[in-house]
Amino acid sequence: MPKYDYDIGIIGGGAAGLTVASGSAQLGAKTLLVEKEKELGGDCLHFGCVPSKTLLKTAHVYSLMKNSRKFGLPPVEPPPVDFKEVSQRIRSVIGTIQHHDSKERFCRLGAQVEFGRPTFTDEHSIRLSGNNYSAKTWVIATGSSPLVPPIRGLDKTPFITNREIFYLDHLPKSMIILGGGPIGSEMSQAFSRLGTRVVVVNRAPQILAKEDPDMADAVKDVLSSEGVEFYLGASIEEVSDLGSEKEVRIKTKQGSMIRLKAEMILVALGRGANTDGLGLEDVGVKFDPRGVNVDSRLRTNLKHIYAAGDINGGFQFTHAAGYEGGIVISNAIFHLPRKVDYTFLPWCTYTDPPLGSIGMNEKSARAAGIDYKVWMEEFKDNDRSLAEGETVGKIKMILDDKEKPIGVQILGPHAGDLIGEWVAVLNGKVKLSTLAAAVHPYPTIGEINKKVAGSYFSPKIFSEKVQKGLKFFFHLKGRACAEETCGE
């Protein structure tokens, strides 16, 4: 049997790689973790979730200050934002979390951490900074990078991506965001609230393409009402550098050509897998532009090499990367065959209000040919939402033809957290009647979960049939007042 230096080698120290490294090291596997940047943590910590959510919170507070009168407070005119200060706060939050993702911590857990860019030299070995390392099992967890499509002129025009946007030295006066996905949408709101004039250009006719149009359009309406300008169904024809301004020439949905100008361009047009330089083609690991090809156990065509996280072109979320890391541990360390199952993988876009989702929405149910029904409740009917000044949004519960819940979408305050209850309900196969009967604290936004489940039972319980039955058995006398005398 060949002898290897390590039981498991992991390339990439982000959400997926760190999950595998921490699990395998703690289970007693001799673990090597290789990261190309100077610090561990990956995109989520340095250029993704953490900085974006920190920025969104800052923008939210600034927007509350400007809208103080909505809350019965004196008007406030806050001075303009100094983005250096905002960026400093972002760095400070990252710094705090960085301790958890430090080389020292992983060393204490038992993993060896090396920094540099490795290349596979054979199926079991990599070369890194002049040294060779071999491992029985390898995990590719190198994540993704912003896609920069071949738009005419873009290669000659300065632009920013998620790698630069949180570290700007000043607040741009204006910004054109190319792409209306989650990153484009979140950043449009954050910068617009901070005082940047923002225009979003999106090829699809709706933002947040995976979501149901009614939900995505409601997010867009909120952003528009806050001043974000949208060109949907528009194609980007050409980009050029005019010096202090950049120009984006677009063809609108109606076919007219428009020249948009702004100080900065943010490219948020999707993500590409980080496969470059790994030598995958030399050792025969199959991949395509979407990412490294894997089976349902996350094994590549070479069964001892796994690919987890954004790199495999699946769901591009930190929690998906973490989940996939767990699947790899199960297969590679415990040797317990475990397949991925994304049926109830939740996600959330953290606009204000946020849009959270789990399971199927109407779009995916229709595409799967499922005969579904939708039950809805609106946040304007939730007492706590009203108290909080949060009246936009709704919850949609999707039931299949057997009246079993197959998905929930929530556009409203704390949607990402509210989805948590549905994570338990759907994964735990909790009956809707249990959720509808369970007592929720009042007044909470979460009561909307109970209410939408209850709305399914209400017509059945308060039906004419039940009334007749009760009348027959218990001699109930019926209405105490005539309907026409009730008034409005």
Ligand X SMILES: Cc1cc2nc3c(=O)[nH]c(=O)nc-3n(C[C@H](O)[C@H](O)[C@H](O)COP(=O)(O)OP(=O)(O)OC[C@H]3O[C@@H](n4cnc5c(N)ncnc54)[C@H](O)[C@@H]3O)c2cc1C
Angle in degrees, 0-180, between the axes of helices 49-66 and 182-194, rounded to the nearest 10: 40
Q: Minimum distance from CB of 196 to ligand X (Å)?
A: 16
Stretch that binds ligand X, among 1-9, 92-100, 273-281, 331-339 (CB under 6 A): 273-281
CA-closest candidate to residue 429, choices 324, 322, 344:
344
For ligand X, the closer CB: 53 or 249: 53
Closer by beta carbon to ligand X, 316 or else 382: 316
Give kind and range of the element (H or E) at residue 128.
strand 125-128
Q: Which stretch binds ligand X (CB under 6 A): 42-50, 67-75, 296-304, 395-403?
A: 42-50
Q: Do 247 and 239 touch, CB atoms closer than 8 A?
A: yes
Q: Is 117 in the site for ligand X (CB under 6 A)?
A: yes
Query: How many positions of this chain bind ligand X (CB under 6 A)?
Result: 37
Query: How far apart are CB 255 and ligand X at their closest, in Å?
Result: 32
> Are the beta carbons of 250 and 177 closer than 8 angstroms?
no
User: In Å, how far are 64, 71, 242, 250 from 74, measured between CA atoms?
Assistant: 12, 9, 43, 42
Q: Which residue has the tokens 């948590």?
A: 420
Q: Which is nearer to ligand X, 113 or 365 (CB)?
A: 113
Residue 189 within binding range of ligand X, rule CB under 6 A: no
Structure tokens at 250: 């677009």
H/E segment holding residue 77: none
CB of residue 301 to ligand X, shortest distance in Å: 19
Which of 119, 391 has the CB closer to ligand X?
A: 119
Spatial separation of the C-alpha atoms in residues 440 and 428, rounded to whole Å: 18
Which residue, 208 or 250, has its beta carbon nearer to ligand X?
Answer: 208
Nearest-CA neighbor of 9 among 30, 27, 28, 23? 30
Is 142 among the residues that bind ligand X (CB under 6 A)? yes
440 scored as a contact of ligand X (CB under 6 A): no
Q: Does 44 bind ligand X (CB under 6 A)?
A: yes
User: Per rule CB under 6 A, is residue 48 in the interface with ligand X?
Assistant: yes
Nearer to ligand X, 20 or 436 (CB): 20
Stretch (H or E) spanning 114? strand 111-115
The nearer residue to ligand X, 130 or 459, going by C-beta atoms, is 130
Closest approach of ligand X to the CB of residue 166, in Å? 8
Least CB distance to ligand X at residue 416 (A): 8
Residue 160 DSSP label? B
Q: Of the two residues 183 and 239, which places its CB atom closer to ligand X in the complex? A: 183
Q: Using CB under 6 A, which of 113, 183, 264, 280 touches ligand X?
A: 183
- Gap between the Cα atoms of 145 and 397, Å rounded: 34
The strand pair at 235-241 and 246-251 is best described as: antiparallel
**Residues 141, 20 contacting (CB under 8 angstroms):** yes
> And the tokens for 88?
């400093």
Q: Which run of H or of E encompasses 130?
A: none
Tell me the residue number closest to ligand X, measured at CB.
14
Question: Does the protein bind ligand X through residue 162 (CB under 6 A)?
Answer: yes
**Cα 91 → chain centroid:** 21
Pick the closer one to ligand X by CB: 325 or 412.
325
* 60 makes contact with ligand X (CB under 6 A): no
H or E stretch including 75? none
Site string for ligand X, 308-347 (x = CB under 6 A): -xxx----xxxx-x--------------------------
**DSSP of 7-66:** EEEEE--SHHHHHHHHHHHHTT--EEEEESSSSSSHHHHHTSHHHHHHHHHHHHHHHHHH
Pair of tokens at residue 241 = 């550098």
Least gap, CB of 220 to ligand X (angstroms):
19
Contact code string over 209-248 relative to ligand X, x by CB under 6 A:
----------------------------------------
- 58 scored as a contact of ligand X (CB under 6 A): no
Comparison of 52 and 449: residue with beta carbon closer to ligand X: 52
What is the signed CA dihedral for 300, 304, 309, 315, rounded to 10 degrees? 40
Backbone φ and ψ of 349, nearest 5°: -105, 125
49 binding ligand X? (CB under 6 A): yes
401 forms part of the interface with ligand X (CB under 6 A): no
> Judged by CB, which is closer to ligand X: 349, or 382?
349
Contact 161, 187 (CB under 8 A): no
Cβ of residue 136: shortest distance to ligand X, in angstroms?
19
Give which of 34, 36, 58, 54 is closest to 44, Cα–Cα.
54
Residues 8-37, interacting with ligand X (CB under 6 A): 11-17, 34-37
Binding residue (CB under 6 A) for ligand X from 56, 59, 81, 141: 141
Residues of this chain that interact with ligand X (CB under 6 A) are: 11-17, 34-37, 42-44, 47-49, 52, 117-118, 141-143, 162, 183, 274, 277-278, 309-311, 316-319, 321, 350
